Structure 1
Amino acid sequence: MWSIQFKGFMRRLWAFIVCVLLLGSARAQERITLVGEDDWYPYAAARHGKAHGLGVDIITAAYQSVGVEVNFRTMPYARCMAQVKAGQELGCFDSAPDSQLNADYLFHQTPLFDATIGIYAMASSKERNLAPQHLKGQRVGFTNGYTYGDAVELDHSIARDVARTDLLNLRKLLLGRTAYSLVYTRVVDHLQATHPQELGGKIKQVGVVMNTRLFVSFSKLRPESARYAKLLDQGLKNLHTDHSYAQILQRWNTAPP
């Protein structure tokens, strides 16, 4: 009698263990694919065939804390955003929301990180403390697909000279094709470090467009977007709570170019 009861207990125990393992495996195997920009170091770039950067590390850690594994793809930012808008991809990063993007994309609530868009001129310039209003009527370098806040985007007096990459944007400045270039400050730091002969000592920051927060742009055409936006918010909250967010920032603040 005891043997029969014991065998029954063991069968139920094994059934319970199998269920727990299956549920754990299912959660661990939940995967999504997000697309990062391929040329925006140190935030997101393709390095050795893989996505690499501050944004990549923050997104990976945040989703990992809520049981989601992220597969990353990289492509030019403008194409990335177009595919997300069309519902071909779930999400693209890193984006600075404005009135137009808010109409076309779904965003989570907690930013990935903060960054500054600088106004750059030739090193010989005597100007300083420039702001968006000083760009009126000027020929200004932009990077394809990027947004620069409503103060710039809605000012149609600015003559936009659009380049495919930030480096090409700055090269137009050096050639005298534009009066100013609008580029994120840490991106310029990286480009000056990796192109010292071309950029070193030849350009300087003369103002700020804005200090902005960066996010993942989720597709409004994908039914799962709202869920993964909420999970990303929960994951970012987890990172701030256990202080791993600060550790990631510190690692990238001391990262080599």
Structure 2
Amino acid sequence: MYKTKSRQRMWPNIAPILLTCTLQLLTASACIAQETRETLTIMVEDAAAPWSKSDGTGYANDVVVAAFKEMGIEVRLRVVPYSRCKYMVLSGQVAACFNMSWQPEFEGKIKLAAQPIFKVSNDVFEHINTPLPKPPDGKCVLPPGTVVGITRDYEYSAQVTALQTSGVVLENSISDLTSLQKLAARRFQAVLVMSNDLETRNQKAIQSGTEDLVRFAFNCGMLDSTIGFSLTHPDGLRALEMYDEGYRRIKANGALKDIHMRWFPWLHWP
């Protein structure tokens, strides 16, 4: 009888100790899992609103982060000028960069994701007081010797490449906005601007303060834009496979639609 009462008095004291130990073990396990969660650093351009903005936000940023998160990977975005983003992935110093469009120079160095994140339009702008010769409908042609501003290291359509082959002079600038300002000052005769169907065509003219001096002239083609992965970086190909599968999953489970509706509530989901 005495031993039974002693055991009854002892167990109430042991139970809280066991509970405390169990909670500590669970907490430690959670901390270890958090510490060992895979992370991946990816570069993103800093001047492609609404896709990727200078503050690290944007539709494309959210899509990339969500696709990797679906696969259990935490992405750390490094926001940089596009020229640096492109150089770092081409040289294999980072696993991936976005937003990129396919160019022949990428062969053997970069592989793009299977699905585009968005589409961009290569639009030619002219000075209102010195309009360009009007090309035939659907054509992208300019007189040889025409000086056209482009953004350094951006990818352009095959029609733009053909312009250069025909004798048009393409001069680099640091951004579309700077090119438009140079056009307004008549330092360029035309400018190639990356536009999208979510904003008015003169959105960048408004942003650059040149909307009273420049205007859209004609289009030089469309491009798919997505994330590019280095074929020489040790994490490149695996990251590509993870992203493609993650993108497929967020499209299937509705997460991609949620991102789209959050950024573009006025647009019907395709």
Q: TM (normalized to structure 1)?
A: 0.79
Pick closer, same or farther for the CA change 1:133–1:53 going to 2, 3 Å: same
Q: Residue type matched to 2:226 in 1?
A: F
1:41–1:190 CA contact under 8 A, matched in 2: no
CA distance in 2, matches of 1:158, 1:251: 41
- Which has more radius of gyration? 2
Secondary structure of the residue that 2:234 maps to in structure 1?
coil
2:100–2:226 CA contact under 8 A, matched in 1: yes
1:27–1:68 CA contact under 8 A, matched in 2: no
How far is the alpha carbon of 1:239 from its aligned partner? 2.1
2:121–2:222 CA contact under 8 A, matched in 1: yes
How far is the alpha carbon of 1:58 from its aligned partner? 0.9
CA distance in 1, matches of 2:57, 2:135: 33
How far is the alpha carbon of 1:210 from its aligned partner? 1.7
| Pair 1:114-2:119 in alignment | yes
CA distance in 2, matches of 1:169, 1:209: 17
Which residue of structure 1 aligns with residue 204 of structure 2?
191
Structure 1 vs Structure 2: percent identity of aligned residues?
Answer: 21
Pick closer, same or farther for the CA change 1:132–1:223 going to 2, 3 Å: farther
Which residue of structure 2 aligns with residue 162 of structure 1?
172
CA distance in 2, matches of 1:113, 1:135: 28
Secondary structure of the residue that 2:72 maps to in structure 1?
coil
Which residue of structure 1 aligns with residue 237 of structure 2?
226
CA distance in 1, matches of 2:236, 2:44: 16
How far is the alpha carbon of 1:184 from its aligned partner? 1.2
1:119–1:183 CA contact under 8 A, matched in 2: yes
Matches within 5 A, 1:48-59: 51-59=56-64
How far is the alpha carbon of 1:190 from its aligned partner? 4.4
- Structure holding more strand per residue: 1
CA distance in 2, matches of 1:96, 1:180: 22
CA distance in 1, matches of 2:159, 2:207: 31
CA distance in 1, matches of 2:92, 2:233: 6
How many residues get paired?
234
Q: 1:170-204: per-residue Cα shift (whole Å, max 9, x none)?
A: 11111112222111114865434444xx2223322
Secondary structure of the residue that 1:52 maps to in structure 2?
coil
How far is the alpha carbon of 1:114 from its aligned partner? 1.8
Which residue of structure 1 aligns with residue 109 of structure 2?
104
Pick closer, same or farther for the CA change 1:110–1:136 going to 2, 3 Å: farther
CA distance in 2, matches of 1:25, 1:132: 57
2:177–2:205 CA contact under 8 A, matched in 1: no
1:28–1:69 CA contact under 8 A, matched in 2: no
**Structure 2 residues not aligned, in runs of 5+:** 1-21
CA distance in 2, matches of 1:136, 1:101: 30
Q: Residue type matched to 1:44 in 2?
A: S
Q: TM (normalized to structure 2)?
A: 0.75
Q: 1:44-83: per-residue Cα shift (whole Å, max 9, x none)?
A: 2222xxx121211110111111111110111111121111
